[in-house]
Each structure stands twice: as C-alpha cells, then as structure tokens.
Chain A
C-alpha cells in the first residue's frame, strides 16, 4: 500500500529550521526582524508607545465583521478588533492558549472543550464568558454562506454547550480536527453578544465590539477604517511581546486600489506601509528607502488542478508528464519576484504538516517525454502528441484575481509544448470560472487556496465534499478522512504527509509556486508581524 512508502514523521522544530535555511531569507522574517529596533539613521532606539500608523490596503474590506470578512485586506482590519480562543505560532504551527487557557479534544476530534480566562471583557463592557462563546459560534453557523471561511470551519456543527460560566463544549456531527486551528483565526474571533444581536448586513458596516487590542472607531466604505487602541487591554496572546495594550495609539487603513499610487504614496511618505505589493513594483520599491517583506501563504499553492473526469486529463500519464514538464524555477524567476518561491509540495511551506516533496516536482523534460511515449501518446505532425486520434490538448481555465496569472501560464504553455502537450488558455471572470469548474468544462484549473490547517487538502481533494476535480481515489480519501479524525498531532501529520505525496504522484494537482503576501513599509515602522496565516498583526507595531 502506498501509505507505507512515506516515512510517517510529523514536522518537528528541527525540520522547520532546516527549511528556513533552505528558504529565501524572507521566510525568516517572522516576526519581521528586517525592521526591528534599528531606525533609518542606523541608531538603535527602543520600542515607543503612541502614534498613528497609516496603512494602505489594495481593496475595500467591504465588510468589517470578522465573521464575514473573507479577503486578506479585510482580515488585517478585523484581526485587531477581536481576540480568538487560541493563537497559532507561525514558526512551529503550534496552537497556544489565548482567550482559552486550556482545551481538550475528545471522540475522534468531534468534541472540543475550552476553558476560558476570566478577566477578559469586550469593549462594550460585557464579559468574555461561555455564553458569549456560544453566541459567537451559533452566529457564525447561522451566517451560512455569508461566512465563506466560517462555514468551512464549522462544517457539521452540532452546537455549543455552556458547561459553566467559563467552560464551553463545542460538538460536531463527525471528526473535525481542523476546528482547533480554526479557533485561532479572526473568522472565529469573539464579538460581544450585543453586536451579534444586530442583523448580519448591519454588522458589516459596524459599529462592532470585540475584546481585541483595538476598537473599531469608524469604517467609511471605499475610503478608510479607523482603529483606536484599547488602553485597558491586558489579555494578549502569549506570542506577542506583551499581553498589555498595543503600542500604536491608532491605525488608519486607507483604501488605495491603484498599485502604482500605493507604491508612490509609500515612497513619498504619505502612508507608512502598504499591502498588496505587485511583483513588478518590488524592484522599484527596493531601490527606495523602504523594506519589502513577504511570507508564503499557507494552504494550497498556485497550481493546475486536473479535472480527472475529462477525456485527456483522466490519463495519469498525462498528469505526471505535466508534473515533470513544468519548470517552476523559470516561472518564478521570469514572471514573479524574489519574494516568491516555487512550490515544493501540494501544500505551501508555511502550512502545518507540510512535507518537502521537491524531488517529485523536479523539472525533467526527458521523463515527461518517456511517460507520454509509454502511455501511447505519439508525436503528431504539428508536434502535439496524439493517441487514438485524440490530440494532447488541454483546456486551462484561469481567473484574473492575481496580476501575473496569465504571463505565468503563457510561460508554462511554452514549457510543456516541448513535451508535445498543447495548453489552451481560457481567461475567465470569477463567475465564469466558478461556472466552468462546477460544470467540469475544463481540463486544468489554475488557482490556490489559503489555510494554515492542512485540512485544506480535504476541502480541495475529498470526493465527499464539492470535489471539483472529480477524484475517485479510496486510498487518498482514507488519508484525508483519517487526518480529520486524528487528535494526536504526530499521527495527523503522518496522514497529511501521505496525502500530499499521493496527490502529487497521481498528478491531481500540478503545483507551480507559492502565493505570497508581500507588503512594504517605511523604515520608521517596526514589528509588524505575520501570523500563521501570513496575515498581518499590529499589536507589537511601533513607530520611531
């Protein structure tokens, strides 16, 4: 059985260190030491309290309710407003206490008991207690599809029981191991019961009260979000430099959609930091007096997902040949920037239980040709291979959500052409893309997904969920189900490792590069940190 071929070893801190050495220096930047105590004049000054940080976002948050927020830009805002039951160490992936001081997981990861700290309050004065936790999980569940992320986190949610004033028990219909990591996200962050009583649509525009280090002072759609420091805050995550009030007095998030204007505003000092730095702007910014920092998004890297029900892509030899024919390094070097890294597995390096599978993803044109020859795909007159009269042409669907998508695929198109594979690119709107994926009207779909928990593999490849890739593979399914039910992190990581390998070997997915969050900040901004999801955390941030 294939499952035994992979060493069942979880990711250890030792692995992490080795990876970090291999990785570009950008991966060491958690927290961003690049901009720590040294000021722009080289003089070392200590952290300072006070000041207002102006941060330019690339898109309007649209909704500032943490439960409904779905974009990174929205989550930079909501992270400061709410605290979570747990936090996740971006370096080790370990889940640590935050509002919950301890927890137990029982019955195949279908029941979770959390004990809460007793001193935390919401900014409207209400206590953070068991009833509030129940109200929050119930509210996220009630949101349904309005909470795109939450509906996945709470799959099979049965209910929350208030055991005592500071103990809750959350129960699911079946195993749901990813829920523990989900409790560390702002999506399952806690809002005050009074805020939750308002209608879902109203919550989007604020006001909202959370228990976080910042309070929402105002949201003007398409313009800005204002956060103010909460001075009596004292229950911060142990991963922060201090559990007390934040250093910044206030944060202004400005919405600046045009990337050139964002970059110029930073270099001309009109804003202190910017999100969404496009690959083509990075070189320009590095020449100026600003720091450019990036971290790979955890989850599924940017990849071609095969439609295993399509007449050509159902042949595993074709999928494996693609795996070998794509030159990932060339894509990163040519189309992206030094902040990006080629994919090395079916999960990005920053995902929990990630395993390096780069040997499986080596660029090997000769292997690609051999695989296709053996499977009976013979070179045709125009160089495109043919089998049983059917040419080796694959329809690739892609969206325009990420600027370099098309240039990356045009390069891949040339690369695989050398092996005799023809890719036909079809650039679609979000709606058309969804429709084509749902209907199976494609051979390969270009996309990625962000999630720190490896359960994202189940979301993407389980035949019991949406199964957009139309996979039927009992061996893979067994691993995906087993990891969802494993309470022991080591055992869970072993299942995830096998699944990662299986997905690559079967060519269900041809990963290309790791989507990366890149932002730039002026030299006077210090200690903006990436959380485990590669989103930004401002509690420790200070201005010199």
Chain B
C-alpha cells in the first residue's frame, strides 16, 4: 500500500485538474455568459445598453482572452481561491461551505438507509426457499433503480406530507425534514446495492468452497452469512463508492423538489445562471468526493479480501 499511495495521489490530482479543465472548456463553449443572462432579466423591458454590459463583463474579467482567464482561474484555484459568485457576490468557497453540511446530512442519511436496506433485500432474496418471496425480493431492486427520483419524491411528498400531514414538505429544519428526501434518494441507491450484492452472493454460493463448508456441517444461515456474504462484499462496496457520487447527483433533483439548501440546489442555480466560478467550484468539489471515496474503497478492499493484499493488485475488478 505504501508503494501505491504516491501514485494514487498523483492520479487523484490529475483527475481534479482534468475535471476543472473540461468543465471550464464546456462552460466557455456555451453561448452567452453570466452577464448576458443577468441582463436578460428585464425581458423586453430591458434597456441595458451594450456599453453597460461591456463594463460589467470587464469587471468580471470576462472580456479577457479565454486562455488568460483559464490560467488566472486555475492559479487562484490551486491557492484555494475559487473566486466569487457573479450573481450574489459571495466567495465560492463560502457558498460551498455553507451548502455542504446539509448535503452531507442528506448523503449520510441516504447511505444509512440504503446500505442496510439493499443488503437485507439481497441476503433475504438469496436465502429464502420460498419461490414467490425470492422472486418478489429480487425484482424489487430493478423497480427501485428505474423509478425516477423526481417522481418518487413528488409521490412521497404528496402522500406523507400533504395527505397525512406527518412530515414537512420542504426545508432544512431538523431531522423530520430529512426523512422524505433521504428516503427518495435511498430507494434507487438501495436497489443498486441489492442488485449487485444479490448477484455476487449467487456467484459466491456457487463456488466450490461453499460445498466444502456445507460438507463440514455448517448450517445454511452460517454458510450464507459467514462464508458467502463476506466474499460477496467486494462488489457492493465498490458500488457504494459510486453511490456517493450518485447521491451528490441526485441531490440536484431532491433538493429542488424538497426546497432544501445544499450543494445540489447550488448547482442547479449556478448552472441556470451560468455562474461560472460557482459551477467550477462545484466541479472541483464533485471530483474531490469521487477521488476520496474511490481511495477509501481501494484501501478497504485488502481488509475484506486478503488475496488482494497478498498479490498487491492495483485495484479490484468487479
């Protein structure tokens, strides 16, 4: 592991730089800029003169050549200064820092719900001998994965909040407001975990060492939980890494539906208004999250599967 760490870090830095550069290029390929969008706010009543627009563009440095803008932005980003929002004027780092705790709560709650739920469905679905239950449990994940988050969220809020009045429909206040959004995000996440875990459990159960365990007299439950499950954990763990990113992406929809603040809402707003510094900052954040979770997953694999540690393979293929 010690030998691999510098290389992993170098890879991480490369990913960060690439994400930053690609998003910068994409944002500049889009027509218009934040100032044009801002000036369009008045509709046909708008009488902002081209000179005034040019002046504002100059204030944000949008009139300088793109390579120069890129170099300045990158140099500042390396030093931890992600610039200021074109629309609200706040520093991007503060905007993200303000939005992050709410999204972390949401992501944490989602994973806390999704992992046990997905795990339980997979374990039970592969363990039971009742055909109907098995088929029911193993078809649930597909439904969970394919239901659109937006639709699930609206359905939940309609029933639980509007009809039954049990939980608030929107906001960030307390745990009660966290339930509906995290359930909305947890359903597809749990589906994904269950699908992958069930598949790898079935593969593990078909391996010869399971027959050995049975021959030695281990009970069904013991074989299932102790022998098969442990070996089947690597793929769902890798998926959990991907899920963290998925939750971040899902927060864009869920935070809008449930009117929560957070990174997702910030992204939605910044993209609509083409607030380039904020979008850039969010891309860096997203890249950081992906890189970190993959690093953690990488580090966990050898603990689960000693064969990996023994052979020092760079990564597990799933």
Residues of A bordering B, CB below 8 Å: 60, 62-63, 70-71, 144-146, 148-149, 151-152, 155, 199-202, 204-205, 220-223, 254-258, 260-261, 264-265, 267-268, 270, 299-300, 305, 401, 429-435, 447-451, 456, 459-460, 465-466
Per-residue A-contact encoding for B63-107, CB less than 8 Å = 1, 0 else: 000000000000000000000100111100001001100000000
CA distance A431 to B56 in the complex (A): 16
Determine the chain B residues whose CB is within 8 A of the CB of A401 once the complex forms.
43
Chain B interface: which size bin? Answer: 35 or more
Taking a contact as CB atoms under 8 Å apart, the answer to whether A148 and B42 are in contact is: yes
Chain A residues closer than 8 Å to B142, beta-carbon distance: none
How does the 8 Å CB contact mask read for B152-170 relative to A, with 1 for contact and 0 for none?
A: 0010011001110100111
Cβ–Cβ contact B44 & A268, under 8 A: no
Closest B-chain residue to A220, C-beta based?
A: B261
Q: Which of A70, A264, A465 contacts B42 (CB under 8 A)? A: A70
Which of B47-55, B129-137, B195-203 is the interface stretch? B47-55
- What A residues does B221 contact at CB under 8 A? none
Closest CB of chain A to B239's CB: distance in Å?
Answer: 29
- Assess whether B37 is in contact with A431, with CB atoms less than 8 Å apart: yes
Cβ–Cβ contact B259 & A256, under 8 A? yes
Cα distance, A201 to B259, chains bound together (Å) = 25
B170 near A144 with CB under 8 A, answer no
Chain A contacts for B169, CB-based, 8 A: 256, 261, 264-265, 268, 270
Which of B28-36, B185-193, B228-236 is found at the contact surface with chain A? B28-36
Pair A429/B171 contact, Cβ less than 8 Å: no
Complex CA distance for A299 and B45, rounded to whole angstroms = 8
Contact residue among A151, A254, A447, A466 (Cβ-Cβ distance under 8 Å from B43): A447
Whether the Cβ atoms of A70 and B45 lie closer than 8 Å is: no
Whether a CB of chain A sits under 8 angstroms from the CB of B257 is yes
Enumerate chain B interface residues (CB-CB to A < 8 A): 30-33, 35-50, 52-53, 55-56, 84, 87-90, 95, 98-99, 154, 157-158, 161-163, 165, 168-172, 256-259, 261, 265-266, 269, 273-274
Min CB gap A492→B, angstroms: 18
Contact A145 B38 (CB under 8 A): yes
CB-defined A-B contacts under 8 Å, sample of 10: A146-B56, A152-B48, A201-B88, A204-B87, A204-B88, A221-B261, A223-B171, A264-B157, A299-B44, A429-B32
Q: Taking A155-B47, A435-B36 as contacts, is the C-beta distance between A222 and B261 under 8 angstroms?
A: yes
Contact: A261 with B257, CB < 8 Å? yes
Q: Which of A146, A223, A305, A431 makes the CB contact (< 8 A) with B33? A: A431
- Given contacts A149-B42, A221-B261, A223-B261, could you give 7 more A-B pairs where the C-beta distance is less than 8 Å? A144-B52, A202-B89, A204-B87, A222-B266, A448-B43, A449-B45, A459-B47
Task: Give chain A residues whose Cβ lies under 8 Å from the Cβ of B157.
Answer: 261, 264
Do A258 and B162 touch (CB < 8 A)?
A: no
The answer to whether A449 and B43 touch across the interface, beta carbons within 8 angstroms, is yes
Cβ contact within 8 Å between B52 and A151: yes
> Within the assembled complex, what's the spacing in Å between the Cα atoms of A144 and B48?
8
A440 → chain B, closest Cβ, in Å? Answer: 14
Asked if B89 and A460 sit within 8 Å, CB to CB, the answer is: no
Bound: A466/B165 CA distance, A: 52
